[in-house]
Chain A
Amino acid sequence: MDFLRPASWEDALAAKAAHPTAVPIAGGTDVMVEINFDHRRPEYLLDLNRIGELREWEVGQDSVNLGASVPYTQIMDHLRAELPGLALAAHTVGSPQIRNRGSVGGNLGAASPAGDSHPALLSAGAEVEAQSVRGTRMIPVEEFYTGVKRNALEPDELIRAVHIKKADGPQQFSKVGTRNAMVIAVCAFGIALHPDTRTVKTGIGSAAPTPVRARAAEDFLNAALDEGGFWESGKIITPSIAKQFAELASGACNPIDDVRGTAKYRRHAVGIMARRTLGWTWEQYRGTGPALLEGAA
């Protein structure tokens, strides 16, 4: 195994073009486990740790440009206001040591359905900035996950950054594991209210071959909130709406039985998390949102 250590992003792209089988490594929290377990023996490891700009982020007008290697700890410490859902998800990643090294870029590169950041990215809205010597393309995160541990990157592409929409409303993230910390998701759910567009977006983790949005649940909820004038009134969401939203979120799952849990439990738990996180975000919106809307009107 050769260890490639490019000093600059341009060198990294050139190395990836020259060695398309090279596996990029930053924090190593996933890649090293795979290697140690002998699950993979890459010909080349492409070390991105010398490229400082990958660990930087920029808060723009509408979105955060999050460098691929920004560790979870930084997201928790500095981007809680802009990316509340992702910050909550970051809290649940591994241990403090893992959070100091692991990054969203790594989560996307691995594309495990159990990756903790995916539901938060899906619900917030995000695009993956993929680069190669051929140029740059922006991939909507919904289209990024193509299968179990597979993603939309071309062999010569690297993840430069993730552009995540800044929160325009309350966001929540919830994850079931059979331990109270440092646990891989049995299943997870992310939700973001978008008062600007009067929509709700969701993300489900670890309950289908890829991270998915619960689109039928979103469509139902968006219509129900719209019809009922909930965004304007800020009134409490009726239990029947919450229940149907939860059932549709459950229905969006396509889980398996494995050592971490049964398919039946995953469907059940996603429904519970959907109902609870909707309640939490809506309560928060009721406390702040409608007043702002009225003020704008």
Chain B
Amino acid sequence: MGVTGSPTDIHQSTASRTRGGIGASTPRPDGTLKVTGEFAYSSDMWHEDMLWGHTLRSTLAHAEIVSIDVSEALAQAGVHAVLTYDDLPTATRHYGLEIRDTPVLAEGRVRHHGEPVALVAADHPETARRAAAKIKVEYRELPLVTDEASATAPDAPVLHENRTDEHHRYVEHPNILHRQPIVRGDASAAAERADVIVRGEYHFGMQDQAFLGPESGLAVPAEDGGVDLYVATQWLHADLGQIAPVLGLPEEQVRMTLSGVGGAFGGREDLSMQIHACLLALHTGRPVKMVYNRFESFFGHVHRHPAKLWYEHGATKDGRLTHLKCRIVLDGGAYASSSPAVVGNASSLSVGPYAVDDVDIEAVALYTNNPPCGAMRGFGAVQACFAYEAQMDKLAAALSMDPVEFRRLNAMSQGTLLPTGQAVDSPAPVAELLRRVKAMPMPPEQQWLSAGSSGQEADVRDLPGGLSNTSHGEGVVRGVGYAVGIKNVGFSEGFDDYSTARVRMEVVAGEPVATVHTAMAEVGQGGVTVHAQIARTELGVDRVTIHPADTTVGSAGSSSASRQTYVTGGAIRHACEHVRERVLELGRTKLGSYHPAWATAELLLEGGKVVTESGEVLADLVDVLEEEAVEVELEWRHRPTEPFDRHTGQGRGHVQYAFAAHRAVVEVDTELGLVKVVELACAQDVGKALNPLSVLGQIQGGTTQGLGIAVMEEILVDPKTAKVRNPSFTDYLIPTILDTPTIPVDVLELADAHAPYGLRGVGEAPTLSSTPAVLAAVRAATGLELNRVPVRPEHLTGT
């Protein structure tokens, strides 16, 4: 009995010849299915005889577990297993992306609200839920660590004793997870040259990825003692490397297949239900499905780090930046997740896309009892961008300069040194992006007015408050703001960032067909579309089959850091080149004697044929291949990077950069403190748009996610209890279509010579500058300082 709703091959073909290659807006194969509700997500899977798993989570943020009594839960009819820490099969009982500090199930102590304590498998999800409620956990509360002061106080409870990770020797307190200083030039001496100095303290709220498909998967025990796991994740092989040791199985016996992923945005980089479902399946000998509901999902994945940022900039009268001093404190919560890498990004990109020679920078991540934080779109660069862009506006105001001109004057360009001493070695059109976004036509004033039967009428949908009907124009003031940002693309700091592609070419039903097999997680970014486009361009075929992503092929790396089109796309391109060479060799062997060009000319594959550069057809691929299949699997990596120096932060840590600029136009109801974002114009350099429509979608989506944290999205954690106060979509608000403005997009394509096709990662950069642009516009409308996001009506009305 197979898995219902399991992934199948995706066949894609276009109308004719080799159209649908790179640069074309080929439609997404999953698009129609998703819009019509037919797409099988990981939560839709079903298996005969399957059980339902459920997680019991801690009700306190910091407590010792005195005892756990599972007897009543086990006695309930329909319950097949109840597991706690004591039932874990091996000595490996922790996992983690960078540091394995996260318990699979709590070991005598919980460190955050909602930490997994016990697991139940039952024949119905409600039975499992009710049984979990019968597990008696006796807690003894421990003092809380909730911020930098409480984390580093002399008597602070240490959250992780006896640390052995690579960072612990370099921090002053064990509750500081990682600290990265960056020092270049002499910031204090440079400050002497400044005619104006501006300082600010900025707060960034905790944002949730809010992907719409909650964590879910299905674990099926296998006859060989292993397990087949179907799951929605961002990186199959990173999961595998954490799952197998806990189960006590060799990696070959944990076979993973990617299931339909309903969005990720970084929130699926860490494990959620993977190990739990496998443990229950292996324990019961039955397939086990786990699906979080929305409430549990808020506890089931890490969030974006809330941050406090202190910034000091100086500038000369003529508008040149003199120096930057800044300190960024990121709340990593109870476990490490990817906090160290987030610190690396926040520190190395803390200057933004500006040329500043004298810097004194420090970024730290804390261990606290707040919810664990880790990867989310923009990854450390987002928080910094909010702060440095607010600073740019303050500096421009202090110098009575136009904020866009001030930015353009200080904008980095190709060759500029980052604070890490690394030169930016590809186009950096920061000033040009700002110019373009400023040059776009402005939306009309009072755009809510339209001609009606009795003169001009207000359409409340175009006003702050929308359908809630709070204003017909009263109190409404327009503001315009600008921002620009820089995001690194790919994994940095010496990480071996590679991908694997297996490409096969053969004749099926009389047609040449390419099959692309990678472990890339399609999380909605459109990777499967682009992969087929690359194969068409390189192999000259129309029909491309995308094999389901699984662990029978090598790692593709993570679907994050805007890297998949670059790295897995690069691997596919490279594999295709090898396949092409092998096909041409085959042709020369079989058909070389029929035409001299086989031996002498540069040959291409186009429209299912072997052709010369001048377009002369030498053979049909069908005749070259006949019954043979050509298959190549290889790994491909981008240029290596190196770690940042522990003390100076110097080092060639990054491989590529993405730049985007925004202009926000907002209407603020200044009396009620409500905001309507009218337009968010964006200009972004993408190097090469492999699929222009997908690029547009990424930019509009990233822009909207940045708008969300600007005006509404925030996980509220009670500082007295460290408990999450709003784990639902009733009170964690994300933008609706009525909150989403018009987003005109101007795409630049300045090739990065080091990247495949010259492309740049697209997905994250628009999330950076959207937020500070909206805030700048709201400041312009209200005259308020507004040093935190999200900005709430209370902040705008002084209530």
Say whether B467 contacts A172, CB under 8 Å: no
Q: Would you list which residues of chain A between 165 and 197 have a CB under 8 Å from chain B?
A: 172-184, 186
Supposing A172-B469, A269-B672 touch, asked if A178 and B730 sit within 8 A by C-beta, the answer is no
Q: Which of B66-74, B168-176, B770-778, B791-799 contacts A (4 or more CB under 8 A)?
A: B791-799
B469: contacting residue among A33, A91, A186, CB under 8 A? A91
Q: In the bound complex, how far is the Cα of B731 from the Cα of A264, in angstroms? A: 19
B129 CB contact (under 8 Å) in A38, A267, A268, A279: A38
Q: Which residue of B lies closest to A36 (CB)?
A: B293
Chain B CB within 8 A of A230 CB: no
Q: Does A78 contact B (CB under 8 A)?
A: no
What is the minimal beta-carbon distance from B56 to any residue of chain A, in angstroms?
A: 13
Q: Is B464 an interface residue (CB 8 A)?
A: yes
Contact of A178 with B293 in the complex, beta carbons under 8 Å: no
B518-548 CB contacts (< 8 Å) to partner A: none
User: Which of A180, A262, A279 meets B736, CB within 8 Å?
Assistant: A180
CA distance A260 to B738 in the complex (A): 20
Given the contacts A174-B469, A261-B794, A182 and B731 also touching, CB distance less than 8 Å: no
Using CB atoms, name the residue of chain A closest to B129.
A38
List B contacts of A265 (CB < 8 A): 673, 793-794, 797, 799
Q: B603 within 8 Å of A by Cβ?
A: no
Q: Counting CB contacts under 8 A, is A88 at the interface?
A: yes
Taken residue by residue from 236 to 280, chain A's Cβ proximity to chain B (1 for < 8 Å, 0 otherwise) reads as 000000000000000000000001111011011100110010011
Instruction: List residues 446-476 of chain B with CB under 8 A from any CB of chain A.
Output: 461, 464-472, 474-475
Asked if B5 is an interface residue, CB under 8 A from chain A, the answer is no
| Contacting residues of chain B (36-62) with chain A, CB-CB under 8 angstroms | none
Q: Does B735 sit at the interface, judged by CB under 8 A?
A: yes
Could you tell me the distance between the alpha carbons of A88 and B738 in the complex, rounded to whole angstroms? 17
With an 8 Å Cβ cutoff, the count of chain B residues facing the other chain is: 39
Q: How far is the CA of A91 from the CA of B461 in the complex (A)?
A: 11
Q: How far is the CB of A133 from chain B (nearest CB, A)?
A: 33
Assembly CA distance A261 to B129 (angstroms) = 32
B 279-299 contacts with A by CB, 8 A: 293, 295
Nearest chain A CB to B350 CB, angstrom units? 30
A182 to B674, CA, bound (A): 15
Q: Which of B676, B793, B797 counts the most chain A CB atoms within 10 A? A: B793
A117 on interface, CB distance cutoff 8 Å: no
By CB atoms of chain A within 10 A, which of B466, B470, B475 has the most?
B470
Specify which chain A residues have a CB less than 8 angstroms from the CB of B731 in the assembled complex. 184, 259-260
Asked if A173 contacts B469 (CB within 8 A), the reply is yes
Specify which of B466, B471, B730, B793 is in contact with A276 (CB 8 Å cutoff).
Answer: B471
Determine whether the beta carbon of B794 is less than 8 Å from that of A180: no
Residues of B within 8 A of A180 (CB): 461, 464-468, 674, 676, 736, 738-739
CB-CB under 8 A from B129, the residues of chain A are 38
Of all chain B residues, which has the CB nearest A91?
B467
Q: Is B725 an interface residue (CB 8 A)?
A: yes
Interface positions, chain B 707-748, Cβ under 8 Å from A, are: 711-712, 716, 725-726, 728, 730-731, 733, 735-739
CB-CB under 8 A from A38, the residues of chain B are: 129
Q: How far is the CA of A36 from the CA of B779 in the complex (A)?
A: 41
Known: A92-B467, A259-B725, A262-B794. A184 touches B730 (CB 8 A): yes
Q: Which B residues are CB-close (under 8 A) to A276?
A: 470-472, 474
Counting chain B CB atoms within 10 Å of each CB, the highest count among A173, A264, A268 belongs to A268
- Name A's B-contacting residues (CB within 8 A): 33, 36-38, 88, 91-92, 172-184, 186, 259-262, 264-265, 267-269, 272-273, 276, 279-280
What are 9 of the A-B contact pairs (CB < 8 Å)?
A33-B730, A92-B468, A176-B465, A176-B468, A178-B712, A180-B465, A182-B736, A272-B475, A272-B671
Known: A178-B711, A180-B467. 5 other contacts (CB 8 A): A180-B468, A180-B736, A184-B731, A260-B731, A265-B794
- B residues sitting closer than 8 Å to A (CB atoms) are 129, 293, 295, 461, 464-472, 474-475, 671-674, 676, 711-712, 716, 725-726, 728, 730-731, 733, 735-739, 792-794, 797, 799
What are the 4 tightest A-B residue pairs by CB atom distance, in nearest-first order?
A180-B466, A181-B738, A265-B799, A175-B468
